[in-house]
Each structure stands twice: as structure tokens, then as C-alpha cells.
Amino acid sequence: MSALGPLYPAGMSQPSQAGAPAQLPAPVRIGLLGCGNVGAAFFSIVADGQSGVASRTGMPLEVVKVAVRDPSRPRPGLGGSGLGGLLVADPWAVVADAEVELVVELMGGVEPARSLVLAALEAGKPVVTANKELVAACHGELAAAAEASGVDFLYEASVAGAIPLVRLLKDSLAGERIVRIMGIVNGTTNYILTRMSEEGIGYGAALAEAQALGYAEAEPSADVEGYDAAAKAAILAAIAFDAEVVSSDVYREGITSVGASDIDFAKRLGYEVKLLAITEREGEDEPVSVRVHPAMIPRAHPLASVRDSFNAVFVEGEAAGELMVYGRGAGGRPTASAVLGDVIEAAHHLREQSRPRTSRRRTTRLRPISELRSQYYLSLEVLDRPGVLAAVATVFGSCGVSIRSMEQVGLRHEARLVFVTHTALEADVQATAAGLEQLESVERVTCLLRLVGSEEEAR
């Protein structure tokens, strides 16, 4: 037995609710891999008798072993008597422990998490994880291992923290034909873009502010270059379309080239700029498109009003229509709450010896970004001399890209032309951008944004 004993009040096995069944099952014994922010929050929710998890759910839980890098380090956040007797340095000792029935993986990274999770699943122990790198890279392999053992492999917390997106797609929309998912799934970049939009400050100043507040890392590229969002996009595509998609399959652009003037221009046209993770498929046998890039989104769209570090995911289903889920995409307690929901589901299946539902994975064709059709915003730094616009317009025309509107902004020495196109093919727009950069009168293409929503709606 653990040093702490069952983490629920002694009287709890005989709940006092009117009409409730007499007996709670024996507590499900959990092994925790990693005990950072999320792990500590999870532990304290489960351990807090006052929180009444067992009385609310009929499922008592008990954390019996916790793997951490340094078991000797004091952990005052976890209470005095705390975690003492449960801590070990070796995660394999947690997975292998005969007492551990269910594994919660919160280490992050692909290895050794992948090997540990595989070992647990192969030993018939359900696994709950919040590790997006792991799920994005190895979802198919881990789901197959879980299915072979007839146990759960659940990962609600790996996408958008507390937002119940995985359950929405797998359960609520089971049977639904998903058309498109668009998500704000990275809180750091949404905070930066919100500040740029609302305060008119530049990217650098907004990033510095996010770093000062702890929303962005000192080395921010995982967030601002879109890598974090790309991992989540891969997971969303995998669930929505039963697709074999990993992070490196995702077309990815970050927000570093978005300037204050681009956001200002977007706002004047009635748009907000958001970093979106998008996955879509036109029909059952069509290829899946999955990409991350900053986009201009009409102000009336529900995603446009998602501010600061909040996350939200907008789902379009054939029958369900438009759905959006919104909430905290990160943070110890919100993420721990999502982990807890999964743990309770897996615990019920374990105690009732029922096999979880399985999903079917197929090899999937992906649609390359070059085949995307969209409207585009382009911003060019140009020399202020006669004939520039004619030369620029010629490049657009020769690539078959039709211009919807053009505006000159800025002063003489830093003249800038901004364009919004009609719906065009990405390949043609990329050719246009390359052609423009060949022009002597064009310094460079400073920003290229895709517009979200149909051209008709936007007018």
C-alpha cells in the first residue's frame, strides 16, 4: 500500500445520497509520470477529500506512485505530509509497479514517454496523457497498442487544455461528417496578436510583454513559429478525419512577419488577425488539408472575439452545423481538470471491465498547401517611384491572381502597397509573391495572410 492510504475520506465507501447504490468500488490506483504544474494540480485535486471527486463520480481514485526527476526536492505546494512516500526517480518503476492500475503521463516530449506509455498499454494498464508532442507523433501506434490490450488511451488534455475537444469530436459528433475545424490553439500567440490589435503595438513589444508575464518563453519559437499549434493541428486532423497525420505533415507559418500595420489594415477592413490551426476535407474520399498560419478572420466570426491567452476551436459538421468550444488552453489546474475527466472515464472502463470504443485509422492523402483556394492579403515594401503599381499589377495578372482592392500606406521613404485578392490558388499567389520580389521597384513582400470565410460572406 502507499504511504498515504486511499485519498478519500474514510466514510466515503458508504455514500449518503438518497437512492444511490450502496457501495463505491475500490479506488483505482494511479501512477503519475511527471509532477510539474499539471501533475501537482492533478494530485491535489485527487488528494483533496473536500473536492469530493469520489462522491461526485462514484469513482474513488488514489495516486500510489509518482515519478519525478528529483524525489528529494521539497514540494511545499503539495502540503506537508504531501507526496513524500510516493516519489521515485525511475518512471519505469511506476509503470512496472503491480499496484499501479492506470498511468497518467505528464512528462512531455516523445521519448522516453512513448516507450513508457507503450509498456503500460501492453501490460493492460490504461494511459491518460496531456503530452501533445507524444500524441502528435505517435497517436496511431499508441492507439493500436491500447486497442490490442482493450484498454483506454486518452489524451483530452493534449489539445487546448481544459477545452473538451477530443470528446466533442469522438463522442458528441460520433457519426457526424466533419467538414472543417479552425482553432486558436496557442495562447501565447493569441495574447501577442490581441495586444497588437488592441494597443496598436508592434510584434516585438507585444512579445516582450508576453515574456514579462510568463505567457511566452525566453526562446519563444515553439509558440511564435507555430510548432506548438502544428502538433495540435495534427491531433485534430487525426481525430476528425481518422487520418494518419503527424506534426511534420502540417504546413506551418508563424506570426513573426505580421506587423502592426498589417493588423491595422485588417481591422479597417473588418477583420482580426489570428493564428489558426485548420484542418478540412471536402468529402469522404478527398485529401485532408492541415495547416497552421496567421489568417484574417471577419470580425463577426466567433473566433474573432477570442482574446488574450484563451483558446477556442470552431467545428463545422455536415449535420451539426457550426459549433465552437472556448476556454483555457493551458495552465496547471485547467489541464489537470481535463486529465481528471479522462482518468474517470478510463477508471470506469477498468472497474467494469468494458472495452473502450476504438477508432479506425486509415492512411490518408494530404492536400498540399499549393492547392489551397483562398483570398489573400499581401503587403509589399516598394520604392516610391512612378510605374511601380503598373509593374506590380502586371505580375499579379500574369500569375492569374485577380486584385480585389489595393491601398498605398506609409510615407515617401517607406512606401508600402497592400493588396487583397479575389479567391485564388495558393500556387498562383506564391508565384505572384516570388515574381514581385524579382521586381527592382519592390523591396520585399513583408506579409502574406490568408482570409478565412467565403468571399461572398466577407463582402
Other C-beta atoms closer than 10 Å to the C-beta of 308 total 12
Beta strands in 24-86 (DSSP E): 28-33, 61-67
- Least CB distance to a second copy at residue 66 (A): 19
Helix (H), strand (E) at residue 339: helix 332-351
Closest-CA residue to 363 (of 259, 455, 200, 245): 245
By CB under 8 A, the residues from 204 to 233 that bind a second copy are none
By CB under 8 A, the residues from 128 to 147 that bind a second copy are 144
In sequence order, the β-bridge partners of residue 128 are 104, 154
By CB under 8 A, the residues from 304 to 333 that bind a second copy are 305-307, 312, 317-328, 331, 333
- Least CB distance to a second copy at residue 325 (A): 5
Residue placing its CB nearer to a second copy in the complex, 319 or 390: 319
Q: Does 180 bind a second copy (CB under 8 A)?
A: no
Q: Does 348 bind a second copy (CB under 8 A)?
A: yes
- Least CB distance to a second copy at residue 240 (A): 10
CA distances from 355 to 31, 90, 147, 155, 345 (A): 21, 30, 9, 17, 11
- Least CB distance to a second copy at residue 438 (A): 44
Closest-CA residue to 154 (of 392, 118, 146, 425): 146
- Least CB distance to a second copy at residue 321 (A): 4
Q: Which stretch binds a second copy (CB under 8 A): 105-113, 114-122, 225-233, 351-359?
A: 351-359
What span, in angstroms and rounded, lies between the C-alpha atoms of 261 and 379? 9
Catalytic residue, chosen from 65, 125, 232, 274, is 232
Q: Does 387 bind a second copy (CB under 8 A)?
A: no
163 CB-near residues (< 8 Å, 6+ apart): 311, 312, 313, 325, 326, 327, 328, 329, 338
Binding track, positions 39-78, relative to a second copy; x by CB under 8 A? --x---x----xxxx-xxxx--------------------
Contact at 8 Å (CB) between 72 and 89? Answer: no
Residue placing its CB nearer to a second copy in the complex, 343 or 433: 343
Binding track, positions 98-117, relative to a second copy; x by CB under 8 A? --------------------
Q: Does 84 bind a second copy (CB under 8 A)?
A: no
Look up residue 200 and give its three cell numbers: 496598436
Q: Which stretch binds a second copy (CB under 8 A): 104-112, 222-230, 297-305, 375-383?
A: 297-305
| DSSP designation for 133 | H
Question: Catalytic site residue 132?
Answer: no
Tell me which residues are annotated as active site: 232
